[in-house]
Amino acid sequence: MTTDQASRAMDFAALHVRGNPVILFNIWDAGSARAVEAAGAKALATGSWPVAAAFGYGDGEKIPLDLALENIRRIVAGTDLPVTMDLEGGYGVSPREVGVTVTKALEAGVIGINFEDQVIGGTGLYPVATQAERIAAARKAGDDAGIPAFINARTDIFLKNKPDTHSQAMLDEAIERAAAYADAGASGFFAPGLADPAMIETLCARISLPVNIIALPGVPDKPVLAGCGVARISYGPVPYRRMMTSLDAAAKAAFA
């Protein structure tokens, strides 16, 4: 741990302001990091899907952890901005395994992580109490390293269901999970897939953690999300997919 790393972690946390969301235009390697930083980013965040795709792997912890960590080291080495890493489910089930993974990520220089509650390689979500224990292990890893790591606790309630099926019951479960995750040491709450402005506003109003929404197609634009109280807008796989669409079109034109 360095003082600079701890300072960057605190600076990153301060960027999360309800109604004035920090924008994280997700990157996948050192080159994309430089481009996004030059465009005016205040912080950098990897997305698990684009990182895996860039190395020829599928999402869902298919990319070996050692390779993902080497990639994040290269990103961190090339910037002075805070860098947060998408760690998916922590490359392990038990709290102990999660703690080991988070420690490795912090040693690689990150100041925060995304950490999801879906069962990687299985079905459904971890029970609330189980996921809270896993988050507590991630928090302990940060505390042991002397880094106030930003743990962005993700729930996959909404992403696993089509937007037109999102219900009050799902929202209530998300609020319950957010409270438990906050008590366990989470720094933020990530609800990818949630797109309804009224539900987003309710979520922001009902929980203590800053809310992260992903700018997928069909999600309201930044002014609307800001008005709902969102504190963080990320882009996930969208930048990588757009780049690959452009590459595909250019390649087809070249070979025509």
pLDDT digits (tens, 9 = 90+) for 122-172: 999 999 999 999 999 999 999 999 999 999 999 999 999 999 999 999 999
Chain mean pLDDT for the chain = 97
pLDDT digits (tens, 9 = 90+) for 170-180: 999 999 999 99
Whole-prediction pTM value?
0.96
* 88 φψ region: left (φ > 0), alpha (ψ -120 to 50), beta (else): left
pLDDT digits (tens, 9 = 90+) for 191-205: 999 999 999 999 999
CA separation for the pair 24, 115 (Å, rounded): 16
Domain spans, the chain? 3-255
Average pLDDT over residues 51-74: 98
Whether 1 has a pLDDT exceeding 60, the answer reads: no
CA separation for the pair 204, 202 (Å, rounded): 5
- The pair of three-digit structure tokens given for residue 152, joined into one six-digit string: 């962005």
CATH H-level, domain 3-255: superfamily: Phosphoenolpyruvate-binding domains (3.20.20.60)
